[in-house]
Amino acid sequence: MASLLKLVAQRIALGLLLLLAVSVLIFVGTQILPGDVAQSILGQSATPQALANLREQLGLNDPAYVRYFHWLWGMLHGDMGTALSNGQDIATSLSGRLKNTLFLAFWAAIVSVPLAIILGLIAVRHKNGFVDKLISGLTLASISLPEFFIGYLLIYFVAVQMQWFPSVSTVYDSMSFLERMKAIALPAATLTLVVLAHMMRMTRAAILNVMQSAYIETAELKGLTPFEIIRRHAFPNAIAPIVNVVMLNLAYLVVGVVVVEVIFVYPGMGQYLVDHVAKRDVPVVQACGLIFAAVYIGLNIIADITAIVSNPRLRHPK
Amino acid sequence: MLTLKNIPLSAWLGLIVTGLFVFAAVFAPLVAPFPNAEIVGDVWEPMSAAHWLGTDNLGRDLLSRMIFGARTTILIAALATALSFTLGSILGFTAAVIGGWFDQTMSRGVDLLMAIPTLIFALVVLSVLPGNIVTLILVMGILDSTRVYRLARAVAVDINVMDYVEAAKLRGEGRGWIIFREILPNALSPLVAELGLRFIFAVLFLSALSFLGLGVQPPEADWGGMVKENKEGIVFGIPAALIPAAAIAVLAISVNLVADWILNRTTDLKGGRGNG
Amino acid sequence: MDRLASQSTGASEKLLDIRNLKIEATVYPPGEAPRNIVIVDGVSVSLERGKVLGLIGESGAGKSTIGLSSMGYGRGGVRITGGEVILNGRDILKGGKGGLRALRGREVCYVAQSAAAAFNPAHRLMKQVVEASLKHGVSSRAEAEKRAVNLFRKLSLPDPENIGKRFPHQVSGGQLQRVMTAMALCSEPDLIVFDEPTTALDVTTQIDVLAAIKEAIRDTGVAALYITHDLAVVAQVADEIAVLRHGKLVEWGDTRQIITQPTQEYTSQLVSVHEIAHEEHAPGKAAALSVKNVTAAYGGGTIKVLKNVSVEIPAGQTLAVVGESGSGKSTLGRAITGLLPPLEGSITFGGRTLPGRLADRSKEDLRQLQMIYQMADVAMNPRQTVGTIIGRPLEFYFGLRGRERDKRVAELLDKIEMGKGFVDRYPAELSGGQKQRVCIARALAAKPSLIICDEVTSALDPLVAHGILQLLLELQKEEQVAYLFITHDLATVKAIADSIAVMYRGEIVRYGPKSKVLTPPFDAYTDLLLSSVPEMEVGWLEKAIAGRRMESAGN
How far apart, in whole angstroms, are the C-alpha atoms of residue B155 and residue A91? 45
Q: Which domain holds residue A185?
A: 101-280
Question: Do residue B169 and residue C382 have CB atoms under 8 angstroms apart?
Answer: no
Closest CB to C426: pick one of B6, B169, B270.
B270
Strand order, beta sheet including C248-254: C108-111, C191-195, C223-228, C52-56, C240-245, C248-254
Give me the pLDDT at residue B270, please.
38
pLDDT for C191 beyond 90: yes
Output A13-21 pairs: Cβ under 8 A, ≥24 positions apart.
A15/A297, A15/A298, A15/A300, A15/A301, A18/A297, A18/B111, A18/B112, A18/B115, A19/A293, A19/A294, A19/A297, A19/B115, A21/B112, A21/B115
- Residues of C with Cβ-Cβ distance to A225 under 8 angstroms: 101
Yes or no, beta carbons of C120 and A225 under 8 Å apart: no
Give residue-wise pLDDT tens across range C389-427.
999 999 999 998 889 999 999 999 998 888 888 888 888
Q: Does B207 contact A146 at a Cβ distance shorter than 8 Å?
A: yes
SS (H, E, C) chain A: CHHHHHHHHHHHHHHHHHHHHHHHHHHHHHHCCCCCHHHHHHCCCCCHHHHHHHHHHHCCCCCHHHHHHHHHHHHHCCCCCECCCCCCEHHHHHHHHHHHHHHHHHHHHHHHHHHHHHHHHHHHHCCCCHHHHHHHHHHHHHHHCCHHHHHHHHHHHHHHHCCCCCCCCCCCCCCCHHHHHHHHHHHHHHHHHHHHHHHHHHHHHHHHHHHCCHHHHHHHCCCCCHHHHHHHHHHHHHHHHHHHHHHHHHHHHHHHHHHHHHHCCCCCHHHHHHHHHHCCCHHHHHHHHHHHHHHHHHHHHHHHHHHHHCCHHHHCCC
CA atoms of B200 and B256, how far apart (whole Å): 7
Determine the angle formed by the axes of helices A282-309 and A90-125, rounding to 10 degrees: 40
- Within 8 A by CB and 6+ apart from C132, the residues are A222, A223, C105, C106, C109, C138, C183, C186, C187
Residues of C in contact with B185 (CB under 8 A): 381, 383-384
Task: Please provide the average confidence, as pLDDT, over all residues in chain C.
Answer: 87
Tell me: domain C287-525, CATH 3.40.50.300, correct? yes
Edge to edge, the sheet with strand C352-353 lists: C303-314, C287-298, C344-349, C352-353
Give alpha helix (H) positions in chain B. 9-26, 28-31, 62-98, 100-114, 118-126, 133-160, 163-171, 175-177, 184-211, 223-234, 242-266
pLDDT at position C96, please? 87
Q: How many CB atoms neighbour CB B161 within 10 A?
A: 10
pLDDT, position C244: 93
CA distance C440 to B226: 64
Centroid of chain to Cα B128 = 25
Intra-chain end-to-end CA distance of chain A, in Å: 12
Stated pTM of the model: 0.80
- Kindly report the CATH number assigned to the domain that includes residue A225: 1.10.3720.10
Q: What is the pLDDT of residues C253-274, one digit of tens each?
A: 999 999 888 899 888 888 887 6
> C439: which residues sit within 8 A by CB, 6+ positions away?
C372, C373, C376, C379, C380, C456
Condensed to tens digits (0 to 9), the pLDDT of residues A23-80 reads 998 888 877 555 566 666 666 677 778 777 777 766 667 777 888 888 888 888 888 7
The answer, yes or no, to whether residue C315 has pLDDT greater than 80, is: yes
Interface of A with C (CB under 8 A): 213-215, 217-225, 228, 232-233, 236-237, 312-313, 316, 318
* Partner-chain contact A318 C106, CB within 8 Å: no
By CA distance, what is C119's nearest residue in A? Answer: A215
> How far apart (Å, rounded) are the C-alpha atoms in residues C282 and C410?
34
Closest CA to A150 of A97, A188, A120: A188
Query: Is A35 an 8 Å CB contact of chain B?
Result: yes
Question: In a structure prediction context, what are the per-residue pLDDT tens digits for chain B, which is 276 residues long?
Answer: 455 566 788 888 889 999 998 988 888 788 778 777 777 777 777 777 777 777 777 778 888 888 888 888 999 999 999 999 999 988 998 888 888 889 989 988 998 888 888 888 888 888 888 778 898 999 999 999 999 999 999 888 888 888 999 999 999 998 888 888 888 888 887 788 788 888 988 999 999 999 988 888 877 878 888 888 888 888 887 888 888 889 999 999 898 888 878 777 655 443 333 332
Taking the CA of residue A29 and the nearest CA in chain B, the distance in Å comes to 6
- pLDDT tens per residue across span A294-308: 988 998 888 888 888
Residues of C in contact with A240 (CB under 8 A): none
Q: What is the ipTM of this complex?
A: 0.83
Please judge whether A223 and C123 are an interchain contact, meaning their C-beta atoms are less than 8 angstroms apart: no
pLDDT at C97 over 50: yes
CA distance A306 to chain C (A): 14
Is A62 a domain residue?
Answer: no
Chain B contact probe: residue of C378, C385, C394, C451 with most B CBs at under 10 A: C378
Q: Is the Cβ–Cβ distance between B80 and B141 less than 8 Å?
A: yes
Q: How confident is the model at residue B9, as a pLDDT?
A: 82
User: Minimal CA–CA distance to A263: which of A200, A196, A187, A205?
Assistant: A187
Given CB atoms, is A149 within the 8 Å cutoff of chain B?
A: yes
**Cα–Cα distance for residue pair C492/C485, rounded to 1 Å:** 10
CA angle C64, C70, C74 (to 5 degrees): 60
- Whether residues B212 and A274 touch (CB distance < 8 A) is answered with yes
C447 touches chain B (CB under 8 A): no
Q: Within 10 A of C516 (CB to CB), how many other CB atoms are there?
A: 11
CA dist., res. C438 & res. C432, Å (int): 10
- Beta carbons within 8 Å of C249's beta carbon, 6+ residues apart: C42, C43, C44, C45, C242, C243
Statement: residue C116 has pLDDT above 80: yes
- Rounded Cα distance between A26 and A298, Å, is 17
Cβ contacts of B163 on chain C, cutoff 8 Å? 373, 375, 378-379
CB contact under 8 A, B164 and C381: yes
Answer whether A277 sits within 8 Å of B126, measured CB to CB.
yes
Question: Burial code of C244-262, b = ≥16 C-beta within 10 A, e = fewer?
Answer: bbebebbbbbebeebbeeb
C122 near A CB under 8 A: yes
Q: What is the structure's pLDDT at B53?
A: 77
Number of domains in chain A: 1
Task: Tally the residues of chain B.
Answer: 276
Asked whether the beta carbons of B96 and B157 are under 8 A apart, the reply is yes
Q: How far apart are the first and last CA of chain B?
A: 12
Which residues in chain B are contacts of C428 at CB distance < 8 A? 269-270
For residue B162, how many other CB atoms are within 10 A of its CB?
A: 20
What 8-state DSSP symbol labels residue B57?
T
pLDDT at C7: 41
Highest mean pLDDT among B8-22, C99-113, C196-210: C99-113
Instruction: Tell whether the model's pLDDT for residue A186 goes beyond 50.
Output: yes
Q: C531 pLDDT exceeds 90?
A: no
Q: How do the domains of chain C map onto residue ranges?
A: 287-525
Q: Hey, is the C-beta of B268 within 8 angstroms of any chain C C-beta?
A: yes
Task: Give the pLDDT of residue A220.
Answer: 92
In A, which residues are within 8 Å of B123 by CB distance? 258, 273-274, 277, 285, 289
Say which residues have a Cβ less than 8 Å from residue C482's Cβ, sequence separation at least 6. Answer: C288, C289, C313, C314, C315, C316, C317, C318, C319, C449, C450, C451, C476
Please state which of the four CATH numbers 3.90.1640.30, 3.40.630.40, 1.10.3720.10, 3.40.50.300 is assigned to the domain occupying B11-36+47-264: 1.10.3720.10
How far apart are alpha carbons C57 and C266 in whole angstroms?
10
Among partner residues B127, B207, B211, which is closest to A277 by beta-carbon distance? B127
A248: confidence class by pLDDT, cuts 50, 70, 90:
confident
CA of C347 to nearest chain A CA: how many angstroms apart? 40
Q: Which residues of A touch B249 (CB under 8 A)?
A: 141, 144-146, 149
Alpha helices in C114-190 (DSSP H): 115-118, 125-129, 131-135, 141-154, 173-186
Q: How does residue C142 score in pLDDT terms, banded at 50, 70 and 90? A: very high
At CA C390, angle to CA C387 and CA C394, rounded to 5? 110
Residues C58-96 have pLDDT tens digits of: 887 889 999 999 999 988 778 899 899 999 989 999 988
CB A89 within 8 A of CB A82: yes
Tens digits of residue pLDDT in A131-185: 888 887 887 777 788 888 888 888 888 877 878 877 777 777 777 888 888 888 8
Give the contacts of B19 (CB within 8 A, at least 6 positions apart).
Answer: none
Q: Are A140 and B260 an interchain contact pair (Cβ–Cβ within 8 Å)? A: yes
Q: How far is CA A146 from CA A259, B148, B224, C177, C460, in A?
A: 10, 21, 9, 53, 52
- Long-range CB pairs of C33-42 (<8 Å, 24+ gap) are C38/C247, C39/C65, C39/C78, C39/C247, C40/C65, C40/C66, C40/C69, C40/C247, C41/C247, C41/C248, C42/C83, C42/C248, C42/C249
Chain C residues whose CB is inside 8 A of the B167 CB are 371, 373, 379, 442
Q: Would you say residue A24 lies in a domain?
A: no
| CA atoms of A255 and B125, how far apart (whole Å) | 16
pLDDT grade for C9, boundaries at 50, 70 and 90: very low
Coil/strand/helix, residue B109? helix
**Rounded Cα–Cα distance for residues B260 and C116 (Å):** 35
Contact C500, C320 (CB under 8 A): yes
The 3-state secondary structure of C75-124, one letter per residue: CCCEEEEEEEEEECCEEHHHCHHHHHHHHECCCEEEECCCHHHHCCCCCC
Q: Which residues are registered as beta bridge partners of C485? A: C320, C453
